[in-house]
Amino acid sequence: MLLVACGSTDQPTIDPPPTAPVAMIPTATLTAVPPTVASEGSSTLMWSSTNATSCTASGGWSGVVASSGNQGTGALTTNTSYSLTCTGPGGTTAPASATVAVIPTAMLTAVPPTVAIGGSSTLTWSSINATSCTASGGWSGVLASNGNQGTGALTSSKSFSLTCTGSGGTSAPASATVAVIPTATLTAVPPTVASGGSSTLTWSSTNATSCTASGG
**Residues 175, 164, 151: CA angle, nearest 5 degrees:** 45
pLDDT interval class at 216 (50, 70, 90):
confident
Beta strand pairing status for 36-37 and 96-102?
parallel
- In order of their start, the domains of the chain are 27-102 (2.60.40.10), 105-180 (2.60.40.2470)
DSSP designation for 41? B
pLDDT digit string, tens, across residues 143-158: 999 999 999 999 999 9
Are 132 and 165 in contact by the 8 Å Cβ rule? The answer is yes
pLDDT at 17 over 90: no
- CA 96, CA 110: separation in Å to the nearest integer? 45
pLDDT digit string, tens, across residues 62-73: 999 999 999 999
pLDDT digit string, tens, across residues 70-83: 999 999 999 999 99
pLDDT interval class at 108 (50, 70, 90):
very high
What average pLDDT does the segment 128-135 reach?
96
Q: pTM of the prediction?
A: 0.74
Of 24, 61, 63, 21, residue with least CA distance to 45:
61
- CA 80, CA 74: separation in Å to the nearest integer? 11
- CA 115, CA 179: separation in Å to the nearest integer? 6
Taking CA atoms, 184 is separated from 9, 62, 112, 212, 213, in Å, by 127, 67, 22, 11, 11
55 CB burial (10 A radius; 0-12, 13-18, 19+): buried
Q: 214 by DSSP, 3-state: which?
A: coil
The DSSP string of 115-176 is: E-TT---EEEEEEES-SEEEEEESS-EEE-SSEEEE----SS-EEEEEEEEETTEEPPPEEE
pLDDT interval class at 10 (50, 70, 90):
low
Q: How many residues does the chain have?
A: 216
